[in-house]
Structure 1
Amino acid sequence: MTVKEATNENRHLNRFYYTVDQAVEKPFNWKQMWRLLGYLRPYSKTYLPGAVIAMFISTAVRLIVPILIGKVAFDHILANQNMTMLTYLVIIIAGLYVLSYVGNIFRIKWVNILGQNVIYDLRQHLFSHIQRLSHRFFDRRSAGSIIVRVMNDTNSLQDLFTNGIINLLMDMVMLVGIVVILLVLSPKLALAIMVVLPIMFYISTKLRRNIRRSWQNVRIQQSRMNSHLNESIQGIRITQSFSQEAANGAYFEGLNTDNFKGWRTAVKKSAMFGPVVEMCNALGTIILISYGAFLILQGEANGGIAIGTFVAFGFYIGMFWEPISRLGQVYNQLLMAMSASERIFEFLDEQPDVVDKPGAVDIADIQGAITFDHVQFAYDSDRIALEDISLDVQAGETIALVGHTGSGKSTIANLINRFYDPTKGAVKVDGYDLRDVRLDNLRRDISVVLQDTFIFSGTIMENIRFGRPDATHDEVVEAAQMVGADAFIWGLANGYDTEVEERGNILSAGERQLLSFARALLADPKIIILDEATASIDTETEVKIQEALQRLLEGRTAIIIAHRLSTIRDSDNIFILENGRILENGSHDELMQQHGTYFELVKSQFDMLDAI
């Protein structure tokens, strides 16, 4: 397939895949906007009133100066040729402009501080909320789509909070002030000029729907592109190993092109608002000159206007269309903010499926006895993962879960951690239904080691200490020694202070697994879950770990999920799972004597070894 063919095919797939994710026309959601503005509340007594006062000062100066120039300078001072008063007037106007300048400095300063604080609070709130959501939330969404919400969508609100809200208020005050002043100066001339306003509002209303939909489409295209970019970076090794750089680049080109076209369309439609305002400005100026000149010639005594009133009108008309033009820009900001806030509040409105019930208790001293009482569990309605599972694990006992992929082994581990709640039945620890126990209390005494272990950016020391931040240096080293990780750690450039980079890229798979063992054991849990934890470790290293585990698992309850016979044969009880049900259970010797599923599994492993 050529790059061009890949581009066309991926564009087709892109359109097909995202047909559900379309920009839809919705009325302006004032309730959502008030909710968004609620993030200003913590600053309602500090930066917000200061910015508003500064805005009123600078706006008041702009409204006063045309009156001073038109009515005072032209109609009184120049008419009477009073040069002393003219000097005083110039000094007063200069002072007002200095006051306006100072007001603008503080307005810009306080508004930017306000906006940055609001974005900080919103992003922190969103991240903290996501941290508390249940696993079902992450099962349904890609990491890229979540990153887009936390980073891009919150950034989209920055212009609204740093400029949009105060500018909107300032422009509304300016417009109302101008209209009132014009009506006071000359109602006839003011009404004649404002006859163009209905024309402008009619045209802008027609544009509004298209502009809103265009900006919604921009947000959707950006989300798709950022999600794919995150996925591409995460999976770069797979892309390169299959030599799919060209096809992947072609797919990204399709997304990038759609994003480019979306932005171009949105900007083009938004830019149409400016010419509409300019046209209305031109019509208003024509009316001012023609009808204003007629009123001047008519004379004040006959219901006309003075020359100073005409000059003031000229100033105000020039000022009148400026805030209207900015209101169009603010409206675009509001549309973008509405689109972004819809996506942010979608996450904030998500509630975790697994929460502490009212009156949840703490188990003072967890011993580690685990009971599954006729447990059924389904990830979704048409896929049963566990069917009527009943098992008992005594405190300090080691059990193994064995079965084919999808048999329910990891699901049992997830239920013990209470990442999910059972659909039916109950999971108990020390006789307590987990739904009656506080999550933090439960998970503090459980450590999990996964096959695909996750190493955070930072040092070796920080990664091992992750599950127990208050651990001392010696305790960290001791945990590493007990799992056999100490030797390779001291072989690194800076020992325990070595930076492991993102996802532990400088470490081998086996070394990362050893660190996860040390991290789990340092937490000193009462229950340890090993989910294929030795799959990435070579046989020699596994022997060392087995020796350490014999000592470390003593007095603790252990659930081991593994396929290697060497890992599970010493377990007190081995459960054979198939399609979410327990087929057999017993010790290694007992199961071998039954000549059942476990026997066949062990036999097949030995046959494979013999073949090798």
Structure 2
Amino acid sequence: MLTNQLKSPFQYKKIPISKEDSAEKKRAKNMGATLNRIGKYLAKEKWKLSLVILMVAATSGLSLIGPYLVGMAIDDFIVSREIAGFGILLMNLILVYFLHSIAMFFQNYWMIGIAQNTVYDLRKDLFQHFHRLPISFFDKRQHGELMSRLTNDIDNVNHVLNSSVIQIISSVLTLVGTILIMLSLSPILTAVTMTIIPIMFLSIRWITKRTGPLYKMQQRDIGDVNGYVEEILSGQHVVKTYSQESTVIEEFERKNKSLRNTGFWAQTIAGFTPKVMNTLNFLSFGFIAFVGGVLAIHSTLVTIGVIVIFTEYARQFTRPLNELSNQFNLLLSAIAGAERVFHVLDEPMEEIDEENAIEYKIQKGHIEFRDVTFAYEDKPILKNISFEAKPNETIAFVGHTGAGKTTIINLISRFYNYDSGNIMIDGMNIQKIKRASLRKHMAFVLQESFLFKGTIKENIRYGKLDASDEDIIQAATDANAHEFIMKLPEKYDTYLDQEGSGISKGQKQLITIARALLAEPTILILDEATSNIDTVTEIKIQEALARLMKGRTCLVIAHRLNTIQEADQIIMLKQGRIIEKGNHESLIKQRGHYYQLYKGQL
């Protein structure tokens, strides 16, 4: 039983949609702009498109010649019982259908190539654009929903290019050619055939007016379901730990029902099209047979052969209209998908480097924050932050969740731009350093270690792609990872999936430390890299981190205060402000916020 969210095709406007969906719906009104952008991709295949159009014209023309030859055979040979020349006409008829098949093969062959090249470029542009978008874009969206745009939405475009483009061109040419031939044979029967056009037009208009919005919502719901599935599968441990299986199943059921409902009505209403067309087609046959029969009996205006030709052309006349209406529904679905793709492509990229930005080699790692202020979406996050991290010093940031610790790291690496103040590295304003050059001298070891699907060797080499195998082994040795790697069946060639199955969480962390060591950064950023690790592994990680931190400026986001007691400077943050600053001993003596936090953890 359908839910109340979408009881009938007349209620699609009542479905609640998000602000982002509303923005996309406003974009969707300009269908011509979307088609124009797809056309720019197709323009790269001009010569192939020309060949396809030529073949489509040939198949359309040949399909019109066939029925005409059949009518000639009836009037000139069958009715008159003449045999001479009948064999030649049959040979011509066979030749027409043979050439039609050849032309059909080549038009499909070339169009498949055009479609694949077009979606290849579209998919490539979208994937490349993902990597040019700011971190804030991904923070606000489900990854599965973005994946849906790269897969389902582009697949819809691919499907339409493979089939619909040829069908639309062929239908238009066939329709025009059929009308011209019908007028030359009998204007009266042509007028009879044309009587169904207003009914067809009104029917198609009624259907497409409803399927357009439904296809857009169907694509939205597909992305919503994909995003939710990706999120829940990634968080299965949390779901099972808190026994929330029934909750997530209910939520998925709600989203799945929404997708079922929009898909049901989109396909149901679109399915009216061939039924209406077939009914009108049969009515057209009846009218032609009746009027043609009367004319053949009482006048010489129409022959039996002409009536046979007209019944075939009537079918060919309604078939293009039927195909156009069907393809239009598919086209609406593809446009809905293309709009979602272009919506991402239109998202502003991460701010480009300033005109005077330069490649800069950070040698010392001397960091200075000078009265830095930052707000995210008009919400103040950091307020007048000033501190200094001298070369080879370790600076730890502590404070409750939301205090601004991670934001400071994001500003240093320029994932976000600060609003006022200055951030200096080795005396150079970071806004004058190219982002790639800045990040090249940094390495991150985060609380949640991330491994790519591939071998252990490939994951370590990600820190420095031109590193030799010897460099990788040395980095793993310094990270205390070499010993456990050599105990694995395939050693450094052991294949890992994204979750790092087959090795422990601590071993994953050792691999990420090896990756950071291989990168040889000047500035090291740590986000509680030893949390939730067993004691023995924690000791190994601490030893590895000590080697990694040696000779580098280190910024540490600390959650457990016992891990930062040796830091050169500890900065206590609260609501985006620095409230205390000093080393562990001095802050304990102050008996302020840090002391209370430390005492609470003890």
Q: TM-score higher than 0.5 here?
A: yes
Matches within 5 A, 1:57-456: 57-70=58-71, 72-77=72-77, 82-300=82-300, 304-382=301-379, 384-456=380-452
Q: CA deviation at 1:585?
A: 2.0
Deviations 1:143-172 (A, max 9, x none): 121111111111222221110111111111
For residues 423 and 306 of structure 2, the distance between their equivalents in structure 1, rounded to whole angstroms, comes to 84
Q: Report if the CA contact (8 A) 1:455-1:512 is conserved.
A: yes
Aligned to 2:44: 42
Q: Report if the CA contact (8 A) 1:546-1:567 is conserved.
A: no
Bigger drift between 214-223 and 197-206 goes to 214-223
Aligned to 1:3: none
Summarize the Cα distance change of 1:486–1:24 in structure 2 as closer, same or farther, 3 Å threshold: closer
For residues 443 and 59 of structure 1, the distance between their equivalents in structure 2, rounded to whole angstroms, comes to 59
- 1:594 and 2:590 correspond: yes
For residues 264 and 547 of structure 1, the distance between their equivalents in structure 2, rounded to whole angstroms, comes to 60
Bigger drift between 234-243 and 513-522 goes to 234-243
Aligned to 1:503: 499
- 1:533 and 2:534 correspond: no
Q: Report if the CA contact (8 A) 2:149-2:341 is conserved.
A: yes
Bigger drift between 270-279 and 469-478 goes to 270-279
Q: CA deviation at 1:431?
A: 2.7
Matches within 5 A, 1:28-39: 29-39=31-41
Summarize the Cα distance change of 1:74–1:386 in structure 2 as closer, same or farther, 3 Å threshold: same
Which residue type is aligned with residue 374 of structure 1?
D
Deviations 1:564-609 (A, max 9, x none): 445322222222222211122223343344343334444444xx2x
Q: Report if the CA contact (8 A) 2:445-2:529 is conserved.
A: yes
Which residue type is aligned with residue 324 of structure 1?
L
For residues 57 and 99 of structure 1, the distance between their equivalents in structure 2, rounded to whole angstroms, comes to 9
Q: CA deviation at 1:404?
A: 2.1
Q: Report if the CA contact (8 A) 1:354-1:419 is conserved.
A: no
Q: CA deviation at 1:19?
A: 6.4
Which residue type is aligned with residue 332 of structure 2?
L
Aligned to 1:12: none
Bigger drift between 522-531 and 582-591 goes to 582-591
Deviations 1:43-95 (A, max 9, x none): 2223x33332222222111011222222x434445576553421111111111
1:503 is paired with a residue whose SS is coil
Q: CA deviation at 1:262?
A: 2.4
For residues 432 and 385 of structure 1, the distance between their equivalents in structure 2, rounded to whole angstroms, comes to 24
For residues 167 and 308 of structure 1, the distance between their equivalents in structure 2, rounded to whole angstroms, comes to 29
Aligned to 2:11: none
Can you give the 5+ residue segments of structure 2 that lack an aligned partner in the other structure? 6-13
For residues 277 and 30 of structure 2, the distance between their equivalents in structure 1, rounded to whole angstroms, comes to 23
Q: CA deviation at 1:457?
A: 1.4
Deviations 1:279-323 (A, max 9, x none): 3222322221222233334544xxx23443333222211211112
Q: CA RMSD in A?
A: 2.6
For residues 77 and 16 of structure 2, the distance between their equivalents in structure 1, rounded to whole angstroms, comes to 73
For residues 406 and 197 of structure 1, the distance between their equivalents in structure 2, rounded to whole angstroms, comes to 65
Q: CA deviation at 1:346?
A: 1.1
Q: CA deviation at 1:107?
A: 2.0
Which residue type is aligned with residue 124 of structure 2?
Q
Summarize the Cα distance change of 1:557–1:77 in structure 2 as closer, same or farther, 3 Å threshold: same
Q: Report if the CA contact (8 A) 1:400-1:573 is conserved.
A: yes
Q: Report if the CA contact (8 A) 2:382-2:575 is conserved.
A: yes
Summarize the Cα distance change of 1:27–1:575 in structure 2 as closer, same or farther, 3 Å threshold: closer
Q: CA deviation at 1:392?
A: 1.9
For residues 579 and 67 of structure 1, the distance between their equivalents in structure 2, rounded to whole angstroms, comes to 84
Summarize the Cα distance change of 1:212–1:594 in structure 2 as closer, same or farther, 3 Å threshold: same
For residues 298 and 360 of structure 1, the distance between their equivalents in structure 2, rounded to whole angstroms, comes to 90
Matches within 5 A, 1:441-590: 441-590=437-586
Which residue type is aligned with residue 191 of structure 1?
A
For residues 16 and 387 of structure 1, the distance between their equivalents in structure 2, rounded to whole angstroms, comes to 42
Q: Report if the CA contact (8 A) 1:136-1:353 is conserved.
A: no
Q: CA deviation at 1:365?
A: 4.8
Summarize the Cα distance change of 1:347–1:27 in structure 2 as closer, same or farther, 3 Å threshold: closer
Q: CA deviation at 1:124?
A: 1.9
Summarize the Cα distance change of 1:178–1:359 in structure 2 as closer, same or farther, 3 Å threshold: farther
Which residue type is aligned with residue 331 of structure 1?
F
Summarize the Cα distance change of 1:257–1:364 in structure 2 as closer, same or farther, 3 Å threshold: closer
For residues 27 and 508 of structure 1, the distance between their equivalents in structure 2, rounded to whole angstroms, comes to 51
Q: Report if the CA contact (8 A) 1:77-1:86 is conserved.
A: yes
1:132 is paired with a residue whose SS is coil
For residues 395 and 366 of structure 1, the distance between their equivalents in structure 2, rounded to whole angstroms, comes to 9
Summarize the Cα distance change of 1:96–1:379 in structure 2 as closer, same or farther, 3 Å threshold: same
Summarize the Cα distance change of 1:596–1:17 in structure 2 as closer, same or farther, 3 Å threshold: farther
Q: CA deviation at 1:554?
A: 3.3
Q: Report if the CA contact (8 A) 1:119-1:157 is conserved.
A: yes
Which residue type is aligned with residue 361 of structure 1?
I
Summarize the Cα distance change of 1:473–1:441 in structure 2 as closer, same or farther, 3 Å threshold: same
Aligned to 2:9: none
For residues 407 and 318 of structure 2, the distance between their equivalents in structure 1, rounded to whole angstroms, comes to 64
Which residue type is aligned with residue 67 of structure 1?
Y
Summarize the Cα distance change of 1:255–1:364 in structure 2 as closer, same or farther, 3 Å threshold: closer
For residues 163 and 434 of structure 2, the distance between their equivalents in structure 1, rounded to whole angstroms, comes to 44
2:47 is paired with a residue whose SS is coil
For residues 97 and 128 of structure 1, the distance between their equivalents in structure 2, rounded to whole angstroms, comes to 46
Q: Report if the CA contact (8 A) 2:506-2:533 is conserved.
A: yes
Which residue type is aligned with residue 125 of structure 1?
D
Give the % identical residues: 35
Q: CA deviation at 1:416?
A: 0.9
1:225 is paired with a residue whose SS is helix
For residues 117 and 282 of structure 1, the distance between their equivalents in structure 2, rounded to whole angstroms, comes to 41
